[in-house]
């Protein structure tokens, strides 16, 4: 069955970096685009970034543009999110999700928690 | 990239229908037929309920339906059941990025 498992979250100081990973299984990884979506504690969903099925295009939300970078390694069936210059506003549960259309995210991981301290 | 506007809450009795609106602009909801709806229960990951305005993924009951008129999309849940009590979020393509709605908490009375 389709499975997405995020890892790499933790507590980090403001200004530092963190790299999240999302390991996929149960489907043909290279056939899908992927997204990162985050949710601050008690708040709503915020779209973070997306990457096309072939990695040719990458898109970012305004709040992370220039600081975060999305990438994929099809040989490892793994999606990444490199997060630099973290601020307390980046504290959230980060989900990876598979897309069937750009906004149709049909499979989600359980999320990995990132806490940025000042 | 402003969030799409949803009512904070909606409610209905079992068996009734509830409709949730999602208002954006001509740059997102009104400009593309790429509106999706997600259901999220407490402590769980979101679940895709509707995509491309009206399409239901396999396994989603046909009690859930989507529509769009101008800059406003809607999700209708017919025949409300206790398990439909959750938070619901809309999402729209906005030209090179996505934007989520503010979320609506649906309560089954």
% of chain B surpassing 90 pLDDT: 97
Positions of E strands within chain A: 3-7, 10-13, 18-25, 34-39, 45-51, 58-60, 68-73, 78-83, 92-99, 105-108, 112-117
B89 at interface of A, judged by CB pairs closer than 8 A: yes
Res B1 pLDDT > 80: no
- B46–A101 CB contact, under 8 Å: no
A 74-93 near B (Cβ less than 8 A) = none
Q: What is the pLDDT of residues A48-72, one digit of tens each?
A: 999 999 999 999 999 999 999 999 9
Three-class secondary structure assignment of B28-87: CHHHCCCEEEEEECCCCCCEEEEECCCECCCCCCCCEEEEEECCEEEEEECCCCHHHCEE
Q: What is the pLDDT of residues A74-103, one digit of tens each?
A: 999 999 999 999 999 999 999 999 999 888
What is the per-residue pLDDT for A19? Answer: 98
The owner of tokens 């046909």 is B62
Paired sense of beta strands A18-25 and B72-77, if any: unpaired
């Amino acid at each position: 069955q389709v499975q997405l498992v995020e890892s790499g979250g933790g507590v980090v100081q403001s200004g530092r970096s963190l790299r999240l990973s999302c390991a996929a299984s149960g489907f043909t990884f290279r056939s899908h685009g992927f997204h990162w979506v985050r949710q601050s504690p008690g708040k709503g969903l915020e779209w973070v970034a997306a990457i096309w099925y072939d990695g040719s295009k990458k898109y970012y939300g305004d709040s992370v543009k220039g600081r975060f970078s999305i990438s994929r390694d099809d040989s490892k069936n793994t999606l990444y999110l490199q997060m630099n210059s973290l601020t307390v506003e980046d504290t959230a549960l980060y989900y990876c999700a598979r897309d069937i259309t750009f906004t149709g995210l049909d499979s989600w991981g359980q999320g990995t928690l990132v806490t940025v301290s000042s | 990239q402003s969030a799409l506007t949803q009512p904070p809450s909606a409610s209905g009795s079992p068996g009734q229908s509830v409709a949730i609106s999602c208002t954006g602009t001509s740059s997102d909801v009104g400009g593309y037929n790429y509106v999706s709806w997600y259901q999220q229960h407490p402590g769980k990951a979101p679940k895709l309920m509707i995509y491309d305005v009206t399409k239901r993924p396999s396994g989603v009951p046909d009690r859930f339906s989507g529509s769009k008129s101008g800059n406003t999309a809607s999700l209708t849940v017919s025949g409300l059941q206790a398990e439909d009590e959750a938070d619901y979020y809309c999402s729209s393509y906005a030209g090179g990025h996505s934007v989520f709605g503010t979320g609506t908490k649906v309560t089954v009375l």
